[in-house]
Amino acid sequence: MISDSTLVDHGTGSPVVAAMETEAVATKALDSADDPEIWVDAKDARRALIYATDKKAGLYVYDLKGKQVQFLTVGPMNNVDLRSGLSIAGLPETVIAASDRVRGGAALFKLDPVTLQTAHWGFVAMPTSEAYGFCVGVTKANQLTFIMVGKTGDVTQSLITTENGQPKATVVRQFATGSQSEGCVVDDVTGRLYIAEENTALWQYGLDPASGTARTAVESLPSPKLVADIEGLTLLRDGDKTYLIASSQGDFAFAVWRVEGDAPVYQGRFSVYAGKGIDAVTGTDGVAALGGQVGPYSKGVVVMQDDSDTDGEAPATARARQNFKLVDWNEIVKALKIE
């Protein structure tokens, strides 16, 4: 399907510009690029990768200069997430996983930390409607958990173990948000799960299955902070502060809250304008962030999907291709006057 977002010059948030952009995904003129995730070597921050889905074809791997270093032809992948530094029996140190729209579950991958090559590892079924949103977390009991958000808003949470060297999923909770949902992210530190019900609210749940369906709204629609659809969600840790970033697709912006405390504290909104020879971000679907040193980014980087990639700084007049933009977290801090 063709993306239904309006072609505009830029969004409505405080302006920032991208530092870099990836090569475009190969699927042309379609709503194809969707969701990114970021990996960095804990021992050498110069070694980093960006994973990004093409929901018509597979999983891309880029370096921090935006060059494609690998493509895994695993079929339609919608959302991608990962956890690194794992010390859980039977699991690789780094687990990458993505929602598989055809088979109805999660495709799993593992990273060779020496060669930086990613290999397909296995698949786990997770019963929902069309596999759509997806996120990964680590529980207080040091268990890897997957959350799959079906397109109609039905959610399945599973614990991930191994059996005969292959991943195995055990369902521990199922619930419904109420309507179409996609973006989700887990805060391992606080034990919170955030889910974007696209036309209704950005919700906070508990990660512990015992918390059931209890939830509170970080922001409800209609809102000047989020304009439907609410799409991608991500977290960034900056020292002792944690920031939740939500994609406001309706006006091509990103809303930011501090969330390490008892209640979310709103920080402002930003949009990626054209500059430094790179076009603006519109469509604002998936988004990922990682704090701390990530290659040349001293305090972190934010990566987001752009549904209308153009040459240079020219505004889009047609939707010919899609890619991902990289924004220095320092620039967002300055734009929003975050203390």
pLDDT tens sequence for the chain (339 residues): 445 567 667 778 999 999 999 999 999 888 899 999 999 999 999 999 999 999 999 999 999 999 999 999 999 999 999 999 999 999 999 999 999 999 999 999 999 999 999 999 999 999 999 999 999 999 999 999 999 999 999 999 999 999 999 999 999 999 999 999 999 999 999 999 999 999 999 999 999 999 999 999 999 999 999 999 999 999 999 999 999 999 999 999 999 999 999 999 999 999 999 999 999 999 889 999 999 999 999 999 999 999 999 999 988 777 789 999 999 999 999 999 998
Q: CA-to-CA distance for 321 and 1, rounded, in angstroms?
A: 13
Residues ≥6 apart with Cβ < 8 Å to 263:
none
Q: Which residues of 319-331 are buried (b: 16+ CB within 10 A; e: fewer)?
A: bebbbbbbbbbbb
Q: How many residues does the chain have?
A: 339
Rounded-to-10 torsion of CA 265, 266, 267, 270: 150
Of the chain, the end-to-end C-alpha distance in Å amounts to 42
Q: CA-to-CA distance for 5 and 44, rounded, in angstroms?
A: 39
DSSP one-letter code for 183: E
Say if pTM beats, i.e. exceeds, 0.75: yes
Looking up tokens 């153009």 gives: 310
**How crowded is the C-beta side of 143, counted as CA atoms within 13 Å?**
19
Q: Please count the other Cβ atoms lying within 10 Å of the Cβ belonging to residue 159.
A: 17
